[in-house]
Amino acid sequence: MTNSPTHTPPAGSTVPPVVTLAPVLSDELPDLISRMQCAFAQAVREQFGTSEPIPSAEEIQQAHTAEHSDVYHLLHHGERVGGAVVRRHEDTGRNSLDLFFIDLGMHNRGLGLAAWKAIEARYPATRIWETVTPYFEQRNIHFYINTCGFHAVEFFNPHHRDPEHPAPAEGTPEPPGMEAFFRFEKVMSEATPC
């Protein structure tokens, strides 16, 4: 029996999924924003009891139009299963994974690692990858450190602010969970790909 392009291996199968990247077109942006906010909202709701839209639609729209950002759909057998925003810094050899999500209901299938491998493959000249995640996101911390080979290199908090994200104006609350977060790095080498 031959696997058709839409065949998904049964649970417990040793065949890893394949995820491809497709640039997000302008008319597809509202769908990506909605799916990304839903994916992020679950953890925020569980931790803080609020469902404030994170990240903001404006943040994602700015990334989509920024000169050095690439915004992708993550596709598995042609179906959207997540999204990613990569900020390129070609002059330094460092790139940033600014936003990354797998759609609700699609977790624990190996799609996150397959998507990360696709991102690494798309940017083979990257020497160092960077990303951040809130301190309470244990699933993300596990994924970046134990699955993808990142290392925690900095902990941002009210006593040590991220220079790219200064404190909000007095009287303006920070989005839930963003008062403390980790910065991760992954140093790439030919001998240790993901």
CA dihedral 152, 158, 164, 167 (to 10 degrees): 160
Q: Give me the pLDDT at residue 124, please.
A: 94
Q: What is the pLDDT of residue 174?
A: 66
Beta pairing partners, 74: 21, 82
- Pairwise CA distance, residues 79 & 82, whole Å: 9
State the Cα torsion 95-60-163-39 to the nearest 10°: -90
Supply 83's token pair: 């999204």
pLDDT reported for residue 129? 97
Long-range pairs for 133-142: beta carbons < 8 A, 24 or more residues apart: 133/181, 133/182, 133/184, 134/43, 134/177, 134/178, 134/180, 134/181, 134/182, 135/177, 135/180, 135/181, 135/182, 136/43, 136/47, 136/177, 137/43, 137/177, 139/43, 141/182
Positions in the chain short of pLDDT 70? 1-14, 51, 166, 173-178, 190-194
Residues 6+ apart with CB under 8 A from 43: 134, 136, 137, 139, 177
Tokens (6 digits) for 138: 């244990």
Structure tokens at 93: 């050899």
Could you tell me the sign of the dihedral formed by the alpha carbons of 71, 20, 117, 38, in that order? positive
Q: Sketch out the chain's domains with CATH numbers.
A: 20-187 (3.40.630.30)
What is the per-residue pLDDT for 13?
55
pLDDT computed for residue 191 by the predictor: 44
* CA dist 60 → 11, 80, 88, 187 (Å): 33, 17, 15, 26
Q: What's the token pair of residue 80?
A: 């959207």
CA distance 39 to 58: 17
